[in-house]
């Protein structure tokens, strides 16, 4: 079968054809260079789709086992009941270590496979440095062209390999009662304050109330320490208590998500553009390290150039490939 034109593929993805979305995500997970080039072409077309412009990209992060996958299932179900379509990417770094088994995640996420408005994919791309970040970020961009809400689940707190801040409009940090270490990270300013905080496993009122109060205290300390995300300072992070297993608090979470998406209306394009710049720089420096960055003039120069090129219509992936070629050419000249 000859490879199809990116425009055809893109059109089918935009119409949320599940087979086409699935093919596009397979391409994203394919590590060969020619596939990367096709992903770059595809994303360039998908970038301006109406869904991508009007949709909502939600990053759900938090320590292992706090219930992110269970919460994602509950959230997706409620969003579907409200008539919104949903795409989910669950990034499972542990699957790299265990050799690709995603059984754990599958068992915990329960979705209706016949629902055309819901797409779920687990990602376990391993291999080259930054491979998972590339795949996660690209997958979100594919799904954003097809579905109203995209949820990307990643495990970890603070700096993790997959910095979803670069691709998410709204970052949700999920913890469970008694997550003292997260509170300490927040207070110490090691962690940026997320857009929404969720205390999951709030099955028991008393425990939940205490956890929310602790968190509120930690947030105050964090604000005072200036740990606000530099992109946004006039948003007050809401704290939502949920029980993903009982299904309580999900409506409140959706309200908080909608409120944040509404809050972003005027700054969304700027935020996404900043994310793209950061993603480009990340991709490049993961690939070529300090030496690559300094060879192309240092971080400040590279950043300014990236901003300019992206404004000129270039996409992160194609720009990164072009910068890579330049670096390799420069290397050739010096040896
Ligand atoms: N009591 C209680 N248990 C929950 C709740 N949400 C999830 N769990 C349980 O917590 C365990 C972990 O849930 P997951 O949804 O897999 O957690 P996760 O954060 O996605 O885990 P990783 O992806 O491995 O980091 C499972 O046994 C869930 O049934 C909740 O609201 N209350
Ligand atoms: Mg999970």
pLDDT at 129: 52
Is residue 155 lining ligand 1, measured as CB closer than 6 Å?
yes
Cα gap 102→92, rounded to integer Å = 8
pLDDT (tens digit per residue) in 261-317: 999 988 898 889 999 999 899 889 988 999 999 999 999 999 999 999 998 888 888
Q: Which of 82-86, 133-137, 187-191, 210-214 has the lowest mean pLDDT?
A: 187-191
Structure tokens at 251: 């409506």
Mean pLDDT of the chain: 85
What average pLDDT score do residues 242-253 get? 95
Res. 107: pLDDT tops 50:
no
State which ligand 1 atom lies nearest to the alpha carbon of 109: 15
Is residue 106 lining ligand 1, measured as CB closer than 6 Å?
no
Structure tokens at 172: 């949700």
| Order of all β-strands in the sheet with 118-123 | 118-123, 86-91, 149-155, 56-62, 170-175, 196-199, 239-241
**Ligand 1: centre distance to CA 273 (Å):** 33
* 92 within 8 A of 102, measured Cβ to Cβ: yes
User: Which DSSP helix (H) or strand (E) runs through 256?
Assistant: helix 250-264
Q: How confident is the model at residue 126 (pLDDT cuts 50, 70, 90)?
A: low
| Beta pairing partners, 217 | none
Of 211, 181, 184, 186, the closest CA to residue 198 belongs to: 211
Cα gap 50→146, rounded to integer Å = 9
User: Which DSSP helix (H) or strand (E) runs through 211?
Assistant: helix 205-224
- pLDDT: which is higher, 54 or 107: 54
What average pLDDT score do residues 84-109 get? 62
Cα gap 111→143, rounded to integer Å = 17
């Amino acid at each position: 079968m000859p490879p199809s034109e990116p425009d055809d593929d893109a059109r089918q993805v935009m119409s949320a054809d599940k087979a086409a979305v699935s093919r596009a995500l397979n391409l994203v997970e394919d590590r060969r260079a020619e596939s990367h080039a096709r992903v770059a072409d595809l994303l360039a077309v998908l970038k301006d789709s109406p869904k991508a412009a009007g949709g909502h990209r939600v990053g759900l992060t938090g320590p292992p086992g706090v219930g992110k996958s269970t919460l994602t299932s509950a959230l997706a179900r409620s969003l579907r009941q409200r008539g919104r379509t949903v795409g989910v990417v669950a990034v499972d770094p542990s699957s790299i270590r265990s050799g690709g088994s995603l059984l754990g995640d599958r068992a915990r996420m329960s979705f209706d496979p016949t629902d055309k408005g819901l797409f779920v994919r687990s990602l376990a791309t391993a291999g080259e440095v930054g491979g998972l970040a590339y795949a996660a970020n690209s997958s979100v961009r594919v799904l954003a062209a097809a579905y109203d809400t995209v949820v990307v689940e990643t495990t970890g707190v603070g700096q993790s390999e997959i910095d979803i801040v670069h691709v998410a409009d709204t970052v949700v940090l999920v913890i469970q009662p008694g997550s003292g270490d997260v509170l300490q990270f927040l207070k110490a300013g090691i962690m940026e304050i997320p857009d929404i905080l969720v205390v999951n496993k709030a099955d028991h009122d008393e425990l939940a109330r205490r956890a929310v109060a602790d968190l509120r205290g930690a947030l105050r300390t964090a604000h005072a320490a200036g740990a606000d995300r530099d992109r946004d300072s006039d948003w007050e992070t809401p704290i939502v208590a949920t029980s993903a297993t009982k299904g309580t608090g999900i409506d409140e979470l959706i309200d908080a998500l909608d409120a944040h998406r509404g809050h972003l209306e005027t700054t969304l394009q700027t935020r996404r553009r900043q994310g793209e710049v950061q993603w480009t720089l990340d991709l490049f420096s993961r690939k070529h390290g300090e030496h690559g960055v300094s060879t192309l003039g240092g971080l400040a120069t590279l950043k300014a150039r990236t901003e300019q090129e992206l404004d000129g219509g270039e996409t992160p992936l194609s720009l990164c490939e072009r910068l890579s070629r330049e670096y390799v050419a420069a290397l050739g000249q010096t040896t």
